[in-house]
Amino acid sequence: MPLKSLQSSFLKGTFYLSGNEASAEGAIAAGCRFYAGYPITPSSELMERMAFRLREVGGVFIQMEDEIASICAVIGASWAGAKAMTATSGPGFSLMQEAIGYAAFTETPCVIVDVQRAGPCTGQATRVGSGDMMQVKWGSHGDYQIIAFSPWSSQEMYDFTIKAFNLSEKYRVPAFVMADEAVGHLRETVRIPEKIEIWNRKKQKGIPPFGTEEADGVPPMPSFGEGERLLVTGSTHDALGYRKTDDPEVHSKLVQRINLKILNHRKEIVETEEYFLEDAEVAILSYGFTARSSLYAVKGLRKEGRRVGMMRLKTIWPFPDEKVSELGKKVRKILVPEMNLGQVAGEVKKYVTCEVISFNQTNGEIIRPEKIKEELRKIL
């Protein structure tokens, strides 16, 4: 089994870390040994920490000429055998989209941390936003799946970066930690456990690296230099990697498989968390930093005896459709507060029949608990 327990040989114990620093530590613990990046606010501290941590553990760090080069170097390193990552924010994330499609189509494991800022465009570089929640799923052209987490604490920046590496390796798919400026710069206690679970990519000589018998399988992934004479291409390819640019069957089979290998394993991938939902009439569905304000608001109203609860999405993609659908049957109304104009609320509406109220704030500031309380009162 590729899943093995590993002593987290570096940091152990309790630390006071920013989200960006915690994510870098998670990456090191998960076995990341290659980082390529380009400076961008508010993610740069992550790159700075990786620069010296990778030197300490004998990995490779390089600051590239732009974000396109960064993600491409990450993919090249991944095929050379590395667990590789990059981090960025909105404008850089936009530049990376073509190569993210390449990673999805060539089934290249890699981790991308997006510390979201207030967009669109250059927007407010030092201010918070969560406007990339849809871009992370749909940013590159064509149909593909990715895995994306939404952390709400420094602790989760650590934990989710490890999870992102594990799932990325397991499913051979790009995995994302969709942080935001507030979580990235938040400084709080992070507890690093004695042991963490690590997943390494499966290797098997002589097995086709781009196809499986099953319609939703994940083939083993050899590395360059192992004598497998790999044929990696972003064009449509058969199980061995040969370009098949006009074969309808090969194209359809490949596109189906890179989608089904994630969608059919949703149950193993998605994670949500529930608070006070047993008897709730109205629920908040929240994610990222906003979920902290949401929980504070819910607790406040509970003290007043109001029947409100909360579901927190830890995984955003693949979307936790079943859990959200169940929630929709349990409550009368769902409030979705977001630092964008309703990106995830739109997704929630696809899976529930109850009323969904989108509460949006795009002013570069976090949504405060009082505001969420106020909105809740309106709909209770």
Q: Indicate whether 36 belongs to the interface with another protein (CB under 8 A).
A: yes
Largest CA distance in the chain: 67
Q: Which stretch binds another protein (CB under 8 A): 6-14, 59-67, 89-97, 188-196?
A: 59-67
Nearest approach, Cβ of residue 373 and another protein (Å): 48
Nearest approach, Cβ of residue 244 and another protein (Å): 11
Q: How far apart are alpha carbons 40 and 324 in whole angstroms? A: 34
Q: How far apart are alpha carbons 112 and 109 in whole angstroms? A: 10
Neighbour count for residue 51 (Cβ, 10 Å): 15
Using the rule CB under 8 A, which residue among 11, 51, 60, 125 binds another protein? 60
Using the rule CB under 8 A, which residue among 30, 54, 84, 186 binds another protein? 84
Closest to 238 (Cα-Cα) out of 227, 229, 228, 249 = 249
**What's the DSSP call for residue 265?**
T
Using the minimum distance from each CB to another protein, give the nearer residue, 11 or 68: 68
Q: Indicate whether 259 belongs to the interface with another protein (CB under 8 A).
A: no
Using the rule CB under 8 A, which residue among 57, 215, 231, 341 binds another protein? 231
Closest to 162 (Cα-Cα) out of 3, 313, 287, 56 = 3
Using the minimum distance from each CB to another protein, give the nearer residue, 245 or 252: 245
Nearest approach, Cβ of residue 272 and another protein (Å): 35
Q: Indicate whether 235 belongs to the interface with another protein (CB under 8 A).
A: yes
Using the minimum distance from each CB to another protein, give the nearer residue, 223 or 360: 223
**What's the DSSP call for residue 193?**
P
Q: How far apart are alpha carbons 179 and 181 in whole angstroms? A: 7
Binding-residue pattern over the window 201 to 230 for another protein, x denoting contact by CB under 8 A: ----------------------xxx-xxxx
SS3 206: coil
Using the minimum distance from each CB to another protein, give the nearer residue, 42 or 59: 59
Integer CA distances (angstroms), 36 to 73, 83, 100, 289, in order: 6, 12, 14, 26
83 CA to centre of own chain: 16
Q: Indicate whether 98 belongs to the interface with another protein (CB under 8 A).
A: yes
Q: Which residues bind another protein (CB under 8 A)?
A: 33-34, 36, 60, 62, 64-66, 68-70, 72-82, 84, 98-99, 102, 223-225, 227-235, 241-243
